[in-house]
Each structure stands twice: as structure tokens, then as C-alpha cells.
Amino acid sequence: MGRNRSGRDRDDSSATATTGAAGRSRSQGPLVSPVGSGTAELRPDRDRPNAWQLLIDGAPQSLVDLADPTHLGFEYQRRLGHLIDLAAPPGRPITVLHLGGGALTLARYTAATRPRSRQQVAEIDTALTELVRTELPLDRTWQIRVRGADARAVLERTPEASVDLVIADVFSGARVPAHCATVEFATLAARALVPEGRFAANITDGSSLAFARAQVATLLAVFPEVCLVADPAVLRGKRFGNLILAASHQPLPIAELGRRVATDSYLGRLEHGRALADFTAGAAPATDSTAAPSPAPPPKAFH
């Protein structure tokens, strides 16, 4: 939800190789279409002639520039982009599991910046995937496979130690579903990762940040290394917004990530170590028996 989307089970293997067409023309104007998760709108971006915003029920989800897939226009996507950049030496192919697909912005970014990367996307809304593939087509050379399935179900079937990076951007409507925000879910992600692999998640919260604090505690129950990146106003509970979590069994690239966050066009703060423990403030990890979805955003939170 932008300043995001979940992952019935359908294997949409035809999404691996898509048309090489130029995609939707700006002259065609906005497109509004019903999808499984609500009403999708593709709206031309005001600042970039080949870019389109995806909105679901009026809430911005992602931005795709058909001429430049390396452009990440939303705050949360840029921060996840930093983690993609730091997942391996520049340009080296990686294996990525995206839980939640939306307009496939991060999969496009990975394919463009790390050619020959192997990527699987779990996106439960098959109608949305079909809309995106038709109007905002992928390059046919990219190795991106989209599965029409629940995110956790795909994670459960992912082979052990097979993925370099798991990115969870899982939303049901405007909320992170409870079953994708638990110790059990994080344990599945850890199992899927190679020993030096990393897990990253986009969540939303505001006010007391009870959900975000519990999510940090949840990851710390599984991974020894965890950090958080967010707008300072969000961390102070002054506004509702996105928070990016990263976790690993190996040391995270805190110094380089911090440098990138500090020099971004978006105001951001990185919490790690003692500061992150203070942020968690004794919150209990969420389990399958205790978890609740993330709070609903207040009206017009992302407008």
C-alpha cells in the first residue's frame, strides 16, 4: 500500500513467459476493472510518460514504469529495493520468492537489475494478475513464474534452503492477514532460505504500533538478526504507514542499508540492536493461535 497486497490454488504457469508488447498506452487513459480483491484501477502517472499506478478500491498499491523497471516510485518499494540490491554482489542472479504480487513491480526490478534471476510470485488474485499481464506486460526473457495461490500455502511447498530472498508483501484488502504474520509463518520462511538468505516484509501500522512491535518480536523468535526501516513519523505513531522488516540468520548489511536509507529521497530511520529491542518494548511474538491481522488504515491514509 503505497507511500500496498495476498499471497484456491491455481498454477498460472503461462505467466512465466509473457508477451513482449509495449503495454497499455497513455492515450488509452485510466482503466477500471473488477478483480478478486475489489476494483482495480490503472492510472497514468503524472510525472513519468510510461508509468502507471495500480490502485485497489482507491488505495495506491504500486507503480510500474514500462520504460524503466528499475524505477521504484513508492517509499516501501524503494526500501525493499535496497534489500534486493544488498542480497548479493551487484548484478549477480538470485532466487526470489515474492509473497504477494500486485503489479509485479519488485519482480520487474529484480529481473532488470539482476538478469537471469529465478523468481516465483504468489498472488492469490488471479484476475489481478491477468489484468497486469495484459496491460503491463513482462519482458518475455524474465524468469518470473506467477502462481495463483495463497502466500502461506506456496511457502509451505517451497523446498528447504532453495531461496536467497523471501519478500512478504501480503495484504488482504488493506490488512496483513493473520496467518502470514506468525512465528509459524516466519519459521517456514527461514526453512525456505539458504543459510545466508534473508527475509523481508512490508507491513502497515500506526498509533501505538502494537502490530509492528509484535511483528518484530515474532521475527526475533525465529531469526537472530532483525532490523526495521520506516518514516520517523510512523515510528512515533504520528501517522499510519509502511514499515519494512528484514531478518536473517547471518549479519544484516546494517551500515550499507543505513547509508541508503539516509540518502534516500524519502525520510527514513533504521532500527537495529538495542534500539530495536527498545522499540519492541516487551511485545509477545504472534503465533497461529494468537495472531490478528494488521489494523485497518484510517480513511484516506494513503491518499
**pLDDT at position 1:** 61
pLDDT, one tens digit per residue, over 45-91 is 999 999 999 999 988 899 999 999 999 999 999 999 999 999 999 99
Task: Give the model's pLDDT for residue 26.
Answer: 79
Domains and CATH numbers, the chain: 10-20+69-280 (3.40.50.150)
Q: What is the DSSP string of 205-263?
A: E-TT-HHHHHHHHHHHTT-SEEEEEE-HHHHTTSS-EEEEEEEESS---HHHHHHHHHH
**Which position has the higher pLDDT, 8 or 254?**
254
- Residues with Cβ within 8 Å of 31's Cβ and at least 6 positions away in sequence, in order, are 24, 41, 42, 135
Q: Is a pLDDT exceeding 90 seen at residue 10?
A: no
Q: At residue 20, does pLDDT exceed 80?
A: no
Q: Looking at residue 161, what is its pLDDT?
A: 98
